[in-house]
Structure 1
């Protein structure tokens, strides 16, 4: 077909222990539209991908910044957490499925579809007049969970093998920088025009991101599958993840083993078991669960689970801590705008830490990045737990803590990419995002439940989290950083050999 690249692949055996329906070799050169591309083209490509992936970053960070304002307006600290959990729930359900569909039908095409859906979700939230309406819009925005895995897949497809780890780190760093910019922008917009304005901004940005996607990202490859696409695997996976996350996410705020909570949890776990059984037997699974048979991939995903459960909750805890009234005994009493501004150094820390993590992974292996990142996390979270009485101290510990998160966010995908076929790059990293997303949703519910159940009332009747609630959250999160360090030490040393794959045949029409 004129102007379109096609990819035909044969069956190959991946080192992760499973049989992939198709595979491709790790390339030593850059192939953009069938030709070798100069470094300048790689730079343009990565910049465009950074701009696209910031859609998800803005959606997440800007809402977190506005969370205290929305909670005060609706006077519901506990349930406002669903603005995060609903978003994360859909992210978890779509990251791997969207990534795999991009592997099959073209990653650039999937990026465009997701950007349009994100714009629609932002509009729904912006026009909402109830908390439930905002949550619905946030759930639609959650399809952005597939953006980063798709970007990882495009980088691996077009960037030389020896440079992949570094550029993956840069993509992760851009996500963190976007979060920092989102905090500042959201604080300004919330103080200027209310929380509605942040959703108007993300709607407009999602549409504008289509321009660099269309003009700077080349047409990506599509797979020629030997059998039918495993749509059943995708249909089972999304509700399985959603029900499991909903059930476990509500245990903290519902009576133990209530019918709703227990039912959702059991049905979700049952669907996950059925989905895993189906995928393990399918000749061309939509999501190949056999990838997790590789020990290092499994341990890397465990690190992601612990990261989501604890350290990733830094934005929620830190933004609420900064804006908490001083009279409560723990808050620093700044406005949303000031909170966003004082957190700006954390974005710069992430911008340095993510490429550094990529460099370390490329030079010494992902294990070294995980150990380094988790050690920084212990220092940052431990310091914030013990010393948080001034803005300067709080920002210093937050910067270290966010840098640690950035290193870990870049390290895990690099470990996964080093062990899987090119043809399953977005799927495999998307599956890791699912793991992190599920536990991040549970962590968000746990944090908001702890802060909501340990509260004090202001003179106007507004509820604020107590010192006890903040200290419990900070202490538990420091503990997860310790667990990540211990897990990281068990991952194999050095750089793994890329998965063995058959040759890629690219047909480019004249």
Structure 2
């Protein structure tokens, strides 16, 4: 690796050597221009996300019938839903990390393949144990969401990335909303096993489209897969989520529930200590502890609580008989149609999010979305007396959740290195799953306690529904407070760029000018002239390496800018303030080096000649 004039004699380079996992050679696919790439990538990945959501939601219409269909006790039948939840929570960060290491498209296909196999197993059985195995395999499909977001970051130009990630993030709600009426119709008109065969068919279609339309990403993290970390995280999450989902059946004060909660605390603490010590962790806890990442993940839990509450309340309210005095007496299919606007509105808010975020930033969009959710639930406290009123609630809450969900990946992507995109978004998706699990447990407990006899069965009361909406509103309020402490969008003049080659070095100036069209920056304030960093990345054979991701970290260790090399292997980053920066070229293998700009410096050059022997990781912060 070439030494720069900015490295002091005897000062160690900010790198750490690790053997590179396979593959050690670049993919043989021809380089793609990020400005022209992605024509079919976005809809295909969004479709994969919708398929995953369909898999999660398809059994909701038949939940109450599962004990009879599987010839088991009601408490055992709930494991059909719990199994998918547990494996999905565990698989999401693990598949994300595997994707960062060995290829995001490869792991996306593996996730969908698990879902297809699991669906086929479920489709051919009525045995409870076999059904649980199939449902557990289906849960691995949850990894497709963060993997899809990671692929988008690697393949799409900056101007398309925001709306694409918004659509991918919202696909989980879109698929859920569309699956309810479709699954209800299938359950009424055909054998319930047809739901699983339909999910398998959709999974195969998503895999075929991904093979044809989605290119493999050239961005790789370094190091090896943290097997011990994966085992520790799995054990901790299982001990945490099991009592959350089954606590109402076991009893919240039972030895089993309390023992599992205690085990979760112990395992996760030990896992955290281990992750801080290992060289290539499953989850970079130092990155996770950054304010923008930590607060985004905590806010995600609150959004998950709010998202699932409406899915638990409205279908039950709509299907309760009118003889209760407050039930709306609708069929399963009509109930699904009334809730379907929740998902449709989430899909339609993706372009709206892109416009708002471009002007105000993802933090403002997240806060706006949560405010809209609160308005929807607040209005819902008084709008529960007619089916058309539930449609209004679904539309308003769906719009808010769409804005909030769309903002979360943008906040995460803006705070982590490109080689950590899938793992970081996998952790964020896990936080949403924890939120939905908490929502299911808490609201399920509320509805069980606030219930009344209705003939031979016990049904939730209107008070139970209203308390559930109030809980969701409270969760949104907490999330709004957390989001308020997120860092605001960078001020004009902060390096954000972004040039693919030396011919595009004016991109930063255009971005800065567009960010401050009114010229509000005080022109009388003395500002040091911005500096530029240019260079070329060459592969181990000395050839220019196109489409290599180049990431710049600021003096405080936070991401300052990232770009990709042009067809000639060149890159340029402009608008840099004085200070020491760490530059990482993520090729095969990646290199890192340090460059310092003194006041008055206008331009520096740093070339990377990648070799097979020297492999570097991104310096820790």
Same fold (TM over 0.5): yes
Alpha-carbon distance between aligned partners in 2 of 1:473 and 1:79, rounded to the nearest angstrom: 25
In 1, Cα distance between equivalents of 2:133 and 2:450 = 28
- Name the structure 1 match of 2:525: none
Aligned residues of 2:307 and 2:436 also touching (Cα < 8 A): no
Give me the whole-angstrom Cα distance separating, in 2, the residues matched to 1:256 and 1:49: 40
Q: Is residue 379 of structure 2 the alignment partner of residue 383 of structure 1?
A: yes
Match of 2:268 in 1: 272
Name the SS of the counterpart of 1:123 in structure 2.
helix
Deviation, structure 1 residue 12: 7.2
Distance (Å, rounded) in 2 between the aligned partners of 1:79 and 1:332: 30
Match of 1:395 in 2: 391
**In the alignment, does 2:492 pair up with 1:492?**
no
1:115 aligns with 2:197: no
Give the secondary structure class of the aligned counterpart of 1:98: helix
1:262 aligns with 2:258: yes
Secondary structure of 2:428's aligned partner: helix
Go from structure 1 to structure 2 and tell me whether the alpha carbon gap of 1:268 and 1:115 turns closer, same or farther (over 3 Å shift): same
Which residue of the partner structure matches residue 140 of structure 2? 143
What is the deviation of 1:136? 4.1
Distance 1:485 1:228 in 2: 38
Q: What do you get for the CA RMSD once the two structures are aligned?
A: 2.8
Unaligned runs of 5+ in 1: 1-10, 14-18, 23-30
With a CA cutoff of 8 Å and minimum separation of 6, indicate the structure with the bigger relative contact order.
Answer: 1
Residue in 2 aligned with 1:477?
Answer: 472
Question: In the alignment, which residue of structure 1 is the partner of 2:238?
Answer: 242
The CA deviation at 1:330 is 2.8
Deviation of residue 350 (structure 1)?
1.0
CA distance in 2, matches of 1:406, 1:70: 31
Tell me the residue number matched to 2:95. Answer: 98
Aligned length: 482
2:615 paired residue number: none
1:502 aligns to 2:584 (yes or no): yes
Q: Check conservation: 1:249, 1:446, Cα contact below 8 A.
A: no
| TM-score calculated relative to the size of structure 1 | 0.87
3-state DSSP of counterpart to 1:491: coil
Task: Note if 1:129 corresponds to 2:123.
Answer: no
Q: Specify whether residues 386 and 210 from structure 1 end up closer, same or farther in structure 2 by C-alpha distance, changes over 3 A only.
A: same
Distance in 1 separating the partners of 2:403 and 2:17: 29
Distance (whole Å) between structure 2 residues aligned to residue 12 and residue 468 of structure 1: 60
* Structure 2 CA distance for partners of 1:495 and 1:142, relative to 1, 3 Å: farther
Deviation at 1:123, TM superposition (A): 2.5
In structure 1, what is the Cα distance between the partners aligned to 2:181 and 2:243? Answer: 34
* Closer, same or farther: CA 452–70 of 1 in aligned 2, 3 Å: farther
In structure 1, distance between residues paired with 2:34 and 2:224: 34
Cα distance change of structure 1 residues 473 and 431 upon mapping to structure 2, 3 Å threshold: same
- More displaced, 490-499 or 208-217? 490-499
Q: How does 1:65-464 map to 2 (within 5 A)?
A: 65-70=61-66, 81-129=78-126, 134-221=131-218, 223=220, 225=222, 227-459=223-455, 461-464=456-459
- Pick closer, same or farther for the CA change 1:448–1:20 going to 2, 3 Å: farther
1:36-55 aligned within 5 A:
36-39=33-36, 41-55=37-51
State the SS of the aligned residue for 1:223. coil
Q: Which structure 2 segments of 5+ residues have no match?
A: 1-12, 20-27, 497-558, 561-582, 590-621
Segment drifting more, 155-164 vs 64-73: 64-73
State the partner residue of 2:56. Answer: 60
- SS of the equivalent of 1:35 reads coil
Q: Is contact 2:236–2:265 with CA below 8 Å preserved after alignment?
A: yes
Task: Report the CA distance shift for 1:294/1:345 in structure 2 as closer, same or farther (over 3 A).
Answer: same
With over 3 angstroms needed to count, the CA separation of the structure-2 counterparts of 1:352 and 1:224, relative to structure 1, is closer
Q: What is the CA distance between 1:77 and its match in structure 2? A: 6.7
**2:472, 2:283 → 1: CA distance?**
31
TM-score (norm 2): 0.72
| Partner SS state of residue 584, structure 2 | coil
Q: Deviations over 1:334-392 (max 9, x none)?
A: 11111222333333311122332243334322211111111111111111122110111
The corresponding residue for 1:16 is: none
Give the corresponding residue for 1:5.
none
Deviates more, 1:448-457 or 1:241-250: 448-457
In structure 1, C-alpha distance between the alignment counterparts of 2:94 and 2:248, rounded to whole Å: 29
Q: Which one is further off, 387-396 or 177-186? A: 177-186
Structure (1 or 2) with the greater helix fraction:
1
Q: Say whether the 8 Å CA contact 1:88–1:438 is kept in structure 2.
A: no
Structure 2 vs 1, CA of residues 407 and 495 (structure 1 numbering), >3 Å: closer, same or farther? farther
Report if aligned partners of 1:184, 1:340 keep a CA contact under 8 Å in 2: yes
For the 8 Å contact 1:107–1:221, the answer to whether it is kept is no
CA contact (8 A) 1:64 1:316 kept: no
In the alignment, is the contact (CA less than 8 A) between 2:446 and 2:464 conserved in 1?
yes
Match of 1:467 in 2: 462
State which drifts further: 425-434 or 194-203: 194-203
Report the alpha carbon displacement of residue 210 of structure 1 after superposing the two structures with TM. 1.2
Change (3 A) 1:37 1:157: closer
Are the aligned partners of 1:64 and 1:315 in contact in 2 as well (CA < 8 Å)? no
